[in-house]
Amino acid sequence: MVLRGRPRRPFLLRTGVQLLTLLVIVVIGVQFANWVANLEAGRIAGARPPGVEGFLPISALLSLRQWLAGGGFSMVHPAGLVLLGLICLSALLLKKSFCSWLCPVGTLSEALARASHLVLRRRVKLPRWLDLGLMSLKYVLIAYFLFAVFLQMTLASVALFIDSPYNRIADIKMLHFFTRMSPTTAWVLGGLALLSFLVPYFWCRYLCPYGALLGVLSRFSPLKVVRSAPDCTNCGRCAAVCPSYLAVDLGRTVTSPECTGCLECVTNCPAPGALEVRGPAPWRRRVRPAVFAAAVLLVFFGGIGAAKLAGRWRTEITDQEYLRRVQEIDSPKYHHARGQVPEYGPQD
């Protein structure tokens, strides 16, 4: 058996994609913050980046419900709906690749995990009973959101919320969540960061409802990491580098919803042919990591390009409407009561 001598290092291509995506998001954030600052100063300057709607998952989920029910494609925050659809599509086709390749929270969590390993000199893992118990939380959260949106709310109430003053400037409210952060919010975010340092991927593994949804969808992905027992040397390196603590070295096919498609196990395997990404039977050809990466980028950014060409990317809300609403953003009609649907429409 000829072994490939590979150091245990991050998959450089994936790291490059992560950093590039994070840079794009930072640029979008700065551009959006400057645009809002101008609105708050009573003037319109610059352009609002539609990509900011990727941080409005609840609004996107409500728009998805409306669209699937035949209520039309909402143009209030269309980019949010497009991004939600592309993220779900990527999970159906390419495992939870969004989590490990594109998600900014996933990138920051991975950075904290690397820092934790450097400082603590070991991979911290909770006892199995506690690990499984906490892991169920994210599935409970996504089940609650899906129940509330698809079963509890009527189509009329969904449409009412989508066109409500609160939702029409939900992107600015989201920005204020960070720029006007309360001490409680700061302590909670700081606590989550500390927990993600002490217990790597704490948010992603235990609390992220988005990740839970993608994990369920990823079970239908035609691509899987497949282990060839005759070629495997049982070195255990694949399991040692798996961020999801999966026993890659013991099974034949990785089917767990916790597999993020990061391909760390594949790129760190020293035995040729032992671990590969393959399609379903009878098509069992190997998919190279570079091809997998290209597919991730094509689905996501190609989908964004298609949405732009189809006119499903930029909001119908004019800069003038944003300017008017920003001046009254602290009034009661922009305060969303938790668990209730506002009793007003777009004319307010």
pLDDT tens digit string along 161-209?
Answer: 999 999 999 999 999 999 999 999 999 999 999 999 999 999 999 999 9
β-partners of residue 227 are 275
Model confidence over 73-114: pLDDT tens digits? 999 999 999 999 999 999 999 999 999 999 999 999 999 999
Share of the chain above pLDDT 70, in %: 93
Q: Where are the beta strands (DSSP E) in 111-216?
A: none
What span, in angstroms and rounded, lies between the C-alpha atoms of 276 and 340?
A: 49
Handedness of CA 12, 16, 21, 25 (dihedral sign): positive
Contact by Cβ (8 Å): 97, 260? yes
Model confidence over 269-305: pLDDT tens digits? 999 889 999 988 777 788 988 899 999 999 999 999 9
pLDDT band, very low/low/confident/very high, at 7 (cuts 50, 70, 90)? very low
Model pLDDT, residue 73: 96
Domain ranges of the chain: 12-330
Whether residue 339 is predicted with pLDDT greater than 70 in this model: the reply is no
Question: 326: how many CB neighbours lie within 10 A of its CB?
Answer: 18
Mean residue pLDDT across the chain:
90
Whether residue 309 is predicted with pLDDT greater than 70 in this model: the reply is yes
Residue 77, CA distances (Å) to 22, 72, 147, 347 in order: 22, 13, 22, 17
